[in-house]
Amino acid sequence: MAKNGQISSSVIKRLPRYYRFLGELKKQGVERISSRELSDMMKLTASQIRQDLNCFGGFGQQGYGYHVDMLHSEIGNILGVDRQFKTIVIGAGNLGRAIATHINFDTRGCELIGIFDRDPALTGMKVGKLEIMHTDELEQFCRKQKPVVAVLCIPKAATQEIADKLVGLGLRSFWNFSHYDLSIDHEDIIVENVHLGDSLLTLTYGTNVLASSEDAKK
Ligand code: NAI
């Protein structure tokens, strides 16, 4: 198996989607699938799929296709879904609470162990199984529990400072929802910036193209 560092970032971006589709097939009891069938489902070309999956060993067999369960678990291993990296949420407002309760961290390699907010009015409130802690407790908590992943659901202005503090406390991965393009000036830090608004704009672009071509036909 190739190490993640040897797989191109565009292939890595597609792995969660392969993992999700293969997981659905597995649930349906499908044992094997050809690259053609997988390509129809995923709207990728069969050759793209073969190229992608070849990057980490090509688990397909000529005339047999891919063994769904095996490929699903191999991709899961590459993604690290069984690792249970300790994870905390910073910011227990609307978004932080929604993420803490609606995202299934366990099946994605993370274990949610804490949620923090600087607003004392929120301290002690339940979010799922967790109680919101005040950010004054953050340092002691991190030194003891050693989380490595932080989900940032705080306002833009607070983001860099909190991120720097968390890096100092040993956190290495940031799932950043704040509207601040986090670039941490530290080595070995992973940041995944998420902007739902950017995704909506991509949809708006597509809608605009469609609407313009319909207007042109009138
Ligand atoms: P909210 O106002 O409901 O919650 C923000 C929470 O952060 C508050 O409870 C506040 O006390 C807390 N907070 C502020 N500074 C903090 C600090 N230094 N340490 C710990 N907690 C702190 O806002 P909401 O709706 O939950 O949104 C959170 C952030 O996420 C906002 O910046 C918003 O713009 C952004 N957002 C991003 C989206 C995306 O797609 N990336 C989608 C929706 C919101």
Which tokens sit at 138? Answer: 């953050």
Atom of ligand 1 nearest to the CA of 116: 20
Question: How many CA within 13 A on the CB side of residue 124?
Answer: 2
Who contacts 88 (Cβ-Cβ below 8 Å, separation ≥6)? 112, 113, 114, 115, 116, 141, 142, 147, 149, 150, 151, 171
Same-domain pairing of 110 and 32: no
The confidence band for 18, taking pLDDT boundaries of 50, 70 and 90, is very high
Q: 112 or 61: whose pLDDT is higher? A: 112
Quick check: is 202 in a domain? Answer: no
Using the mean position of ligand 1's atoms as its centre, give its distance from the Cα of residue 183 in Å: 18
Same-domain pairing of 125 and 166: yes
d(CA 208, CA 202) in angstroms, rounded, equals 10
Average pLDDT estimate for 60-64: 69
Quick check: is 179 in a domain? Answer: yes
Closest CA to 34 of 69, 60, 73: 60
Closest CA to 132 of 153, 115, 118: 115
- Provide the whole-model pTM: 0.90
The total number of structural domains in the chain stands at 2
d(CA 173, CA 132) in angstroms, rounded, equals 21
d(CA 117, CA 79) in angstroms, rounded, equals 30
> Is 176 close to ligand 1, i.e. is its CB under 6 Å away?
no
Closest residue CA from atom 1 of ligand 1? 93
Average pLDDT estimate for 168-184: 91
Using the mean position of ligand 1's atoms as its centre, give its distance from the Cα of residue 135 in Å: 14
Atom of ligand 1 nearest to the CA of 177: 41
pLDDT digits (tens, 9 = 90+) for 145-160: 999 999 999 999 999 9
Using the mean position of ligand 1's atoms as its centre, give its distance from the Cα of residue 175 in Å: 13
Answer whether residue 183 shows pLDDT above 50: yes
d(CA 25, CA 17) in angstroms, rounded, equals 12
Answer whether residue 207 shows pLDDT above 80: yes
Same-domain pairing of 119 and 170: yes
User: How much is the pLDDT for 2?
Assistant: 45
Domain end call among 43, 77, 111: 77
User: Which of 89, 95, 118, 169 to mutate for ligand 1's pocket (most ligand atoms within 8 Å of CB)?
Assistant: 95
Q: Domain range for residue 167?
A: 85-197
Q: What is the chain's length? A: 218
The confidence band for 73, taking pLDDT boundaries of 50, 70 and 90, is very high
Same-domain pairing of 73 and 93: no
Quick check: is 218 in a domain? Answer: no
Using the mean position of ligand 1's atoms as its centre, give its distance from the Cα of residue 159 in Å: 10
pLDDT digits (tens, 9 = 90+) for 87-106: 999 999 999 999 999 999 99
d(CA 36, CA 16) in angstroms, rounded, equals 19
Lowest mean pLDDT among 3-7, 60-64, 74-78, 90-94: 3-7
Same-domain pairing of 134 and 102: yes
Using the mean position of ligand 1's atoms as its centre, give its distance from the Cα of residue 112 in Å: 18
CATH number of 188's domain: 3.40.50.720
Same-domain pairing of 143 and 73: no
The confidence band for 57, taking pLDDT boundaries of 50, 70 and 90, is low
Q: Tell how far CA 205 is from the center of its chain.
A: 24
Residue 116 · residue 90 · CB < 8 Å: yes
Same-domain pairing of 162 and 120: yes
Same-domain pairing of 69 and 101: no
Question: How many CA within 13 A on the CB side of residue 168?
Answer: 9
> Is 149 close to ligand 1, i.e. is its CB under 6 Å away?
no
